Amino acid sequence: MVAPVKGSLLVLERQARVYKHTWRASMISTFLSPTLLLLAMGVGLGSLVDQRDAPAGLPYLTWLAPGLLAATAMQTAAGDSSYPVMAGIKWIKSYDAALSSPIEVHHIVGGHVGWVLIRLVMVSAVFAGVMTVFGATTLAEALLATGPAVLTGFAFIGPVTAYTAGLQKETGLASLFRFGVVPLFLFSGTFFPISQLPDWMEPLAFMTPLWHGVELTRWAALGLEPALRPITHTTVLFAVGAVFPVVAYRRLAGRLIS
């Protein structure tokens, strides 16, 4: 019997050792993604938006950057909790190999959550640096926004892992991004206030973790008054992030233990 924390740390260590050999490719995308997003949407589109009516009276680049930070954290958590999890279950069966040792399913889930949180911290720190270089915010403001961004990503680790654990075919992952992640990215307040959505869509946006994360990152970085109290946004994100790993554990245990 391995203690829960020790077992999870062993799984996390395995993830870190694998990343040691793959970090170069991931770091390219980590730097490239925020640079291109801020350049295209913040600088390019922003120059047009600023000529008319910028949100909250701020330059569009400044208003956009914290929201993009939260959305990038969501995408990172979804990416690291989908295809790598499917690989562990089905393609390379690393989870089966781990279970042949004293490692148990709850160790796998705990180590996975811990590793993705580390990845979220790395990605958010890089994005904060790029935000500063572009002049979207000061370094202090960007760093303040990284905490809510990591919390936003945390809220997606469990749900995406649970979803992946229940899939028999990997084609469901493409559907996840096409019909889940991308619509959230576009319609959760990242690029424009959700008050501009059709009336029937606004309540749907309110229920998405990303909207809570976007509101919280803008509050932390820019001091903009969020739609709800900051503690409410924080509680929603933490609750989703804490509850769904339990669901992921149950689905993964049902899949791996016969």
Segments in the chain forming alpha helices (H)? 4-19, 23-37, 46-49, 60-80, 83-86, 94-99, 105-133, 139-165, 171-176, 182-187, 202-206, 209-222, 230-256
* pLDDT band at 258; cut points 50, 70, 90: low
Cα separation of 223 and 236, whole Å?
A: 20
Digit-coded pLDDT (tens) for 226-239:
999 999 999 999 99
At residue 148, φ and ψ (nearest 5 deg) are -60, -35
Digit-coded pLDDT (tens) for 70-109:
999 999 999 999 999 999 999 999 999 999 999 999 999 9
User: Cβ distance 96 to 175 under 8 Å?
Assistant: no
- Nearest-5° angle of CA 220, CA 223, CA 225? 105
Q: Which residues contact 142 (CB under 8 A, 6 or more apart)?
A: 65, 69, 127, 128, 129, 131, 132, 136, 221
Q: Dig out the tokens for 61 from the structure.
A: 């680049």
- Nearest-5° angle of CA 85, CA 212, CA 242? 45
Cα separation of 92 and 151, whole Å?
A: 30
- Count of other CB atoms within 10 angstroms of residue 39: 14
Question: Which of 198, 199, 231, 197 shows the shortest CA–CA distance to 215?
Answer: 231
Digit-coded pLDDT (tens) for 143-193:
999 999 999 999 999 999 999 999 988 899 999 999 999 999 999 999 988
The 8-class DSSP code of residue 55 comes to G
Taking all residues of the chain, what is their mean pLDDT, rounded to a whole number? 90
Query: pTM for the full model?
Result: 0.92
